[in-house]
Amino acid sequence: MKKKQSTQKDAILAHLKKRKTINPLQALSLYGCYRLSSVINRLREDGVNIATEIKEAKGKFGKTSYAVYKIKK
């Protein structure tokens, strides 16, 4: 019997369940996912209740904002 190939969506859902949060930089470096928001949207369509928190960071080009996702309880 063949093992089901893991997708980015599966990997990100497992990450959320195990590590609680994920942001776009983590998704890119860990899973090669350039469009985390798209994967999050597909998970929401599958019925996963995911919250979005917008964070700000100060970088060398000024302030930037990014999303942090987590599963709602």
The domain in which residue 49 lies consists of 8-71
**Given this model, what pLDDT does residue 73 score?**
78
Count of domains in the chain? 1
User: Is 31 inside any structural domain?
Assistant: yes
User: Is 3 inside any structural domain?
Assistant: no
Predicted TM-score (pTM) above 0.85: no
- Helix boundaries (H) for the chain: 8-19, 24-31, 36-45
Residue 1 above 50 pLDDT? no
Model confidence band, residue 5 (pLDDT cutoffs 50, 70, 90): low
- Contact assessment for residue 22 and residue 50, using Cβ atoms and an 8 Å cutoff: no
Q: What is the pLDDT of residues 21-70, one digit of tens each?
A: 999 999 999 999 999 999 999 999 999 999 999 999 888 888 889 999 99
User: Is 37 inside any structural domain?
Assistant: yes
User: Is 17 inside any structural domain?
Assistant: yes
User: Is 55 inside any structural domain?
Assistant: yes
Query: Looking at residue 49, which CATH number applies to its domain?
Result: 1.10.10
**Given this model, what pLDDT does residue 11 score?**
94
